[in-house]
């Protein structure tokens, strides 16, 4: 997975300014969805409940105040804070907890959601297969959808401004313990209950802008 680092070399303050993500104040929680992590039947699969009391509350889905110049519908991913924001009108955002790439796989830049898919098939990139030979069995047909699939219940596919697949995804994961950590190989993971909610809000296309900052 190799992403063009369009914002590399810039200080964090400059990155924030360029992306229009400078906050005008603290993120005050307006509504928290701690009760939304129970078992879910979806697409013929039974998604287990998340023991949400074992996940720090700052990573529970919630509506927060958020000041940005980005348009509603934009997704802002703050890899350092382990938060993903879906921008709403009126200086608000839905904030989700995320897991991010391990050191060496972290990435930043701008992209857009070209398409999205429920219960996707996972095709590990060649670079990943080279690092982890056990994945060679998925080289051709990929891994079937399901509860053990690394992309979880939903995947949103990120493309660059030239329409080229970045090979990065916003996706679900059954590994709730990884939320708030740097545990995955580059992609942004959410709890399955959260990625289902995010998926329902995103309309693929050039207006579905994604800004990733470190």
CB atoms within 10 A of CB 117: 15
Residue 50 domain flag:
yes
Residue with tokens 């890899």: 79
Q: Which residues contact 23 (CB under 8 A, 6 or more apart)?
A: 66, 67, 68
Q: pLDDT at position 101, please?
A: 81
**Each residue of 46-56: pLDDT tens digit?**
999 999 999 99
Residue 111, domain member (yes or no):
yes
Q: Does residue 4 sit within a domain?
A: no
Supply the pLDDT for residue 60. Answer: 98
pLDDT at 7 over 70: no
Active site residue 123: no
130-160 pLDDT, tens per residue? 787 777 666 787 777 889 888 999 999 999 9
Q: Which domain holds residue 140?
A: 24-213
| Residue 22, pLDDT above cutoff 90 | no
In the residue annotation, 171 being an active-site residue is answered as yes
Q: How many domains are there within the chain? A: 1
Is 13 contained in some domain?
no
Indicate which residue of 21, 60, 83, 187 is catalytic.
187
98 Cβ neighbours under 8 A, 6+ residues apart? 59, 77, 79, 82, 83, 84, 179, 180, 188, 189, 190
Kindly state the percentage of the chain with pLDDT values over 70.
84
Q: Which of the two residues, 189 and 127, has the higher pLDDT score?
A: 189
Q: Choose, from 21, 60, 83, 171, the residue flagged as catalytic.
A: 171
Predicted structure pTM score? 0.84
| In-domain check, residue 8 | no
CB 66 within 8 A of CB 92: yes
Q: What is the mean pLDDT of the chain?
A: 85
Q: Which residue has the higher pLDDT, 126 or 166?
A: 166
Please state which of the ranges 71-85, 177-191, 200-214 shows the lowest mean pLDDT: 177-191
In sequence order, what E strands does 21-104 have?
A: 29-32, 40-42, 45-47, 62-65, 75-78, 83-88, 92-97, 100-101
Contact between 191 and 37 under an 8 Å Cβ cutoff? The reply is yes
168-183 confidence digits (pLDDT tens) = 899 999 999 999 999 8
Is residue 66 assigned to a domain? yes
**Structural domain contains residue 190:** yes
Can you give the pLDDT at residue 137?
Answer: 65
Beta bridge partners of 155: 117, 171
pLDDT value at 212 more than 90: yes
Is residue 122 within 8 A of residue 150, CB to CB? The reply is yes
3-state secondary structure of 18: helix
Q: What is the CATH number of the domain that holds 117?
A: 2.40.440.10
Residue 62 lies in a domain: yes
pLDDT the model gives residue 104: 52
């Amino acid at each position: 997975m190799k992403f063009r680092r369009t914002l590399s070399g810039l200080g964090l303050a400059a990155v924030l300014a360029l992306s229009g993500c400078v906050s005008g104040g603290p993120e005050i929680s307006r509504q928290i969805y701690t009760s939304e992590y129970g078992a879910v039947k979806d697409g013929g699969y039974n998604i287990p409940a998340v023991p949400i009391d074992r996940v720090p509350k700052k990573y529970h889905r919630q509506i927060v105040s958020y000041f940005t110049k980005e348009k509603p519908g934009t997704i802002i991913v703050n890899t350092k804070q382990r938060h993903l924001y879906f921008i709403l009108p009126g200086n608000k955002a839905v904030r989700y907890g995320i897991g991010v790439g391990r050191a060496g796989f972290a990435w930043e830049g701008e992209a857009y959601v070209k398409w999205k898919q429920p219960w996707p098939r996972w095709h590990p990139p060649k670079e990943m297969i080279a690092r982890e030979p056990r994945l060679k069995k998925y080289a051709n047909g990929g891994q079937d959808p399901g509860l053990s699939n690394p992309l979880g219940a939903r995947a949103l596919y990120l493309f660059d401004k030239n329409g080229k697949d970045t090979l990065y995804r916003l996706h679900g994961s059954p590994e709730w313990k990884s939320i708030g950590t740097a545990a995955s190989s580059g992609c942004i993971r959410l709890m399955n209950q959260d990625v289902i909610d995010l998926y329902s809000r995103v309309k693929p296309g050039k207006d579905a802008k994604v800004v990733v900052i470190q």
